[in-house]
Amino acid sequence: MAGLANVFGSGAMSNSMLEIENNNLMFVIGSNTTETHPIVGLKMKKAVKRGAKLIVADPRKINLVKFADLWLQQRPGTDVALLNTIMHVILREGLEDKEFIKNYTENFENFRGSLAEFTPEIGEKITGVPKEKIIKAALMYGEADKAGIYYTMGMTQHTHGTDNVYAVANLALMTGNLGKESAGVNPLRGQNNVQGASDMGCLPNVYPGYQKVDNLASKEKFEKEWGAKLSDKPGLTVTEITDAAINGSIKAVYIMGENPVLSDPDQSHTVKGLSSLDFLVVQDIFLTETAELADVVLPATCYAEKDGTFTNTERRVQRVRKAVEPPGDAKEDSWIITELSRRMGYEMTYHHIEDVAHETGRVWPAFSGITYNRIEKLGIQWPCPTKDHPGTSYLFKGGFPRGKGLFTSVNYKPSAELPDVEYPFILSTGRQLFQYHTGSMTRRTPAIETIAGQAYVEISPEDAEALGIKDGQVIRVSSRRGSIEIASKVSDRPLKGMVFIPFHFKEAAANVLTNTAVDPVCKIPELKVCAVRIEA
């Protein structure tokens, strides 16, 4: 998101789900859409039925490949090379949008030079994708009138994730696929309210509405609204917090509804960090693996037990409504936070939960026009600055928040940990259709467990045969961080030399193996590439 914020001035999905149906071309890269965003997947299938072209770039033969006109099976971690080569071909064929580049962007001439070396031959060599296919993708994307790019963590969970995002943005800028309907750059957000948690300022460097903590005017604005002295020092990210806990500079952590023991890279590192703390508070609906490490566990409510709003991947703020009473003494998170705050000597008084939304609107203009009354039936997409503003279905109409769209030269950098003799396979982690994140909700549904209750590692038939591994056989997967036993799933999905493990399963947790190396800008860990060894 920081990547998009830097080049456009706003980091969110530029277009809407509904617009997908009218795309002329969809370029899906690093997103297993039908499993991780099933309803976006349906819109893509509908677009294909209506005649849209679909290019899928993924190291795995994901379900969406079945619907694709073209599939590029790049080696994990080589997306920059793939995208740069595509752009090289677009320039060579003169398919760039010269008017758009002239009117709405800057730094194009500098950037153009950075593509020179990415000939189709070089692209093929780095990515493993035949150059004919790369050229075909470039022609298809470059010639399409309305081309939308869709990506998820397959692009961002790399040590060069920000570079990947810059490359995607460059491609859209170069072809003028921004600021119009059914096109754009669309990072699909993986969790129900990850967009909202970011919008609300649950990030170490920004207040609500992406207003920087080290900007004096923003700081003063929030100090006035909140009646408190605030720090202008940007805080630590989740992975940095773990490191700081281990080195002793962080003493207390308060976790609301997260399970980093299963979701963060290098589990033993995470556990070590959380165990080193003087004080850990975990507020959750279940006694998660993380809660087991806590000093105090607070029973919270789930989505069916409270009122409020979620913001979906297309920036649409929608109502959440209380349907049932929470169990036992469990309390709404908002009650817990305000009560605790009062006991800490800082009063927060709200008569109704909507008052919090109104306060958000006071400090963040893009949210000002959203009231519960207006979203009673249908949610509104921010920016929505006034009570009579209809909301914004696609961003950047007539220009970018930062002024001009910025071309950023990026070079291909290999992943932090590549396979070698000792650890010869690439491991990618991710999700599957039936389970969700760390499984604390889906794994408590018996039917889900019947169908998808077992952890597995996807391995290609060639690799399985070479190692003498049969489908379903329990094998050992080890990395420099740890080792797990897990059932094999011999499948034509992964690229030869690559294995895939969904991270939902605590009994064979993929994050025992993963690498904590992070992207230098966004601090996103490299969960999509690390080196592992397989033993039958």
Partner 1 sequence: MSFKISIDGKTIDVVEGTTVLEAARKLNIDIPTLCHHPKLTPFGGCRLCIVDIKGIPRPVTSCTTPVSEGMEVTTSNPEIERLRKTILELILSDHPYECMTCERAGDCTLQELAYFYGIKDNRLTGERRLYSKRDGNPFIERELEKCIMCGKCVRVCDQVQGVSAIDFGYRGFDTKICTPFERNLDCEFCGQCVAVCPSGALTGKAWQQKGREIGVREVETTCSYCGCGCNLTLHVKGNEVIRIDSKEDTINEGWLCVKGRFSYSFINSPDRLTKPLIRIAPKESSEFGLRPMGVRSSEYNSAVGSQHSALFREASWDEALDYIAEKLKAIKEKHGPDAIAGLSSARCTNEENYLFQKFIRAAAGTNNIDHCARL
Site for partner 1 in 386-425 (CB under 8 A): none
CB atoms within 10 A of CB 429: 22
Nearer to partner 1, 70 or 244 (CB): 244
Among 472, 474, 496, 535, binds partner 1 (CB under 8 A): 474
For the CB of residue 321, give the shortest distance to partner 1 in the complex, in Å: 5
* Strand 425-430 to 474-478 pairing: unpaired
Nearer to partner 1, 181 or 354 (CB): 354
Q: CA 46, CA 404: separation in Å to the nearest integer?
A: 34
For the CB of residue 7, give the shortest distance to partner 1 in the complex, in Å: 18
Residues 262-281 that bind partner 1 (CB under 8 A): 262-264, 271, 275, 278-279, 281
* Residue 524 sits in the site that holds partner 1 (CB under 8 A): yes
* Residue 237 sits in the site that holds partner 1 (CB under 8 A): yes
For the CB of residue 459, give the shortest distance to partner 1 in the complex, in Å: 17
Nearer to partner 1, 156 or 491 (CB): 156
Question: Omega before 494 cis (within 30°)?
Answer: no
Residues 297-326 that bind partner 1 (CB under 8 A): 297-300, 302-306, 308-314, 316-325
* Residue 289 sits in the site that holds partner 1 (CB under 8 A): yes
Q: Running DSSP on this structure, what letter comes out for residue 21?
A: G
For the CB of residue 302, give the shortest distance to partner 1 in the complex, in Å: 6
* Residue 497 sits in the site that holds partner 1 (CB under 8 A): no
Residues 130-149, one symbol each (x = binds partner 1 by CB under 8 A, - = not), give --------------------
Among 119, 286, 371, 399, binds partner 1 (CB under 8 A): 286
For the CB of residue 58, give the shortest distance to partner 1 in the complex, in Å: 17
For the CB of residue 520, give the shortest distance to partner 1 in the complex, in Å: 13
* Residue 38 sits in the site that holds partner 1 (CB under 8 A): yes
For the CB of residue 334, give the shortest distance to partner 1 in the complex, in Å: 5
Q: CA 211, CA 73: separation in Å to the nearest integer?
A: 39
Q: CA 86, CA 177: separation in Å to the nearest integer?
A: 15
Nearer to partner 1, 228 or 421 (CB): 228
State which amino acid sits at residue 276: S
Distances (CA, A) of 160 to 195, 253, 418: 22, 29, 14
* Residue 243 sits in the site that holds partner 1 (CB under 8 A): no
Long-range pairs, 238-245, Cβ under 8 A, ≥24:
238/264, 238/523, 239/264, 239/265, 239/516, 239/518, 239/523, 239/525, 240/523, 241/273, 242/269, 242/270, 242/273, 242/274, 243/273, 245/273, 245/274, 245/276, 245/277
* Residue 329 sits in the site that holds partner 1 (CB under 8 A): yes
Which letter, b or e, does each residue of 448-469 get, where b requires 16 or more Cβ atoms within 10 Å of its Cβ? beeebbebbbbbbeebbeeeeb
| Phi then psi dihedrals of residue 493, to 5 deg | -75, -55
Among 20, 509, 517, 532, binds partner 1 (CB under 8 A): 509
* Residue 66 sits in the site that holds partner 1 (CB under 8 A): yes
**Structure tokens given for 284:** 């959750």
Helix (H, G, I), strand (E, B) or coil at 13: coil
Among 119, 136, 254, 480, binds partner 1 (CB under 8 A): 254
* Residue 22 sits in the site that holds partner 1 (CB under 8 A): no
Among 67, 70, 91, 139, binds partner 1 (CB under 8 A): 67
* Residue 20 sits in the site that holds partner 1 (CB under 8 A): no
* Residue 523 sits in the site that holds partner 1 (CB under 8 A): yes
Residues 196-235 that bind partner 1 (CB under 8 A): 196-205, 207-208, 213, 222, 226-231, 233-235
Question: Which span (88-96, 111-119, 351-359, 402-410) binds partner 1, by CB under 8 A?
Answer: 351-359
For tokens 């800490």, the residue is 344
Half-sphere exposure of 460 (CA within 13 A, CB side): 16
Residues 6+ away with beta carbon under 8 Å from 326: 299, 301, 302, 305, 332
Question: Which span (82-90, 124-132, 257-265, 401-409) binds partner 1, by CB under 8 A?
Answer: 257-265
| Phi then psi dihedrals of residue 291, to 5 deg | -60, -30
For the CB of residue 237, give the shortest distance to partner 1 in the complex, in Å: 5
Nearer to partner 1, 127 or 381 (CB): 381
* Residue 526 sits in the site that holds partner 1 (CB under 8 A): no
Q: How far apart are the first and last CA of the chain?
A: 40
Please answer whether residues 394 and 179 qualify as being in contact, where contact means their C-beta atoms are separated by less than 8 angstroms: yes
For the CB of residue 127, give the shortest distance to partner 1 in the complex, in Å: 25
* Residue 246 sits in the site that holds partner 1 (CB under 8 A): no
Distances (CA, A) of 246 to 260, 295, 517: 15, 17, 16
- Secondary structure in 3-state letters for 308-359: EEEECCCCEEEEECCCCCCCCCCCCHHHHHHHHHHHCCCCCCCCCHHHHHHH
For the CB of residue 394, give the shortest distance to partner 1 in the complex, in Å: 15
* Residue 285 sits in the site that holds partner 1 (CB under 8 A): yes
Q: CA 177, CA 468: separation in Å to the nearest integer?
A: 48
Residues 370-389 that bind partner 1 (CB under 8 A): 378-379
* Residue 185 sits in the site that holds partner 1 (CB under 8 A): no
Among 348, 385, 392, 467, binds partner 1 (CB under 8 A): 348
Among 6, 211, 371, 445, binds partner 1 (CB under 8 A): 445
Residues 6+ away with beta carbon under 8 Å from 508: 455, 484, 485, 486, 501
- Interhelix angle 120-127/131-143, nearest 10 degrees: 110
* Residue 241 sits in the site that holds partner 1 (CB under 8 A): yes
Tell me the number of residues near partner 1 by CB under 8 A: 170
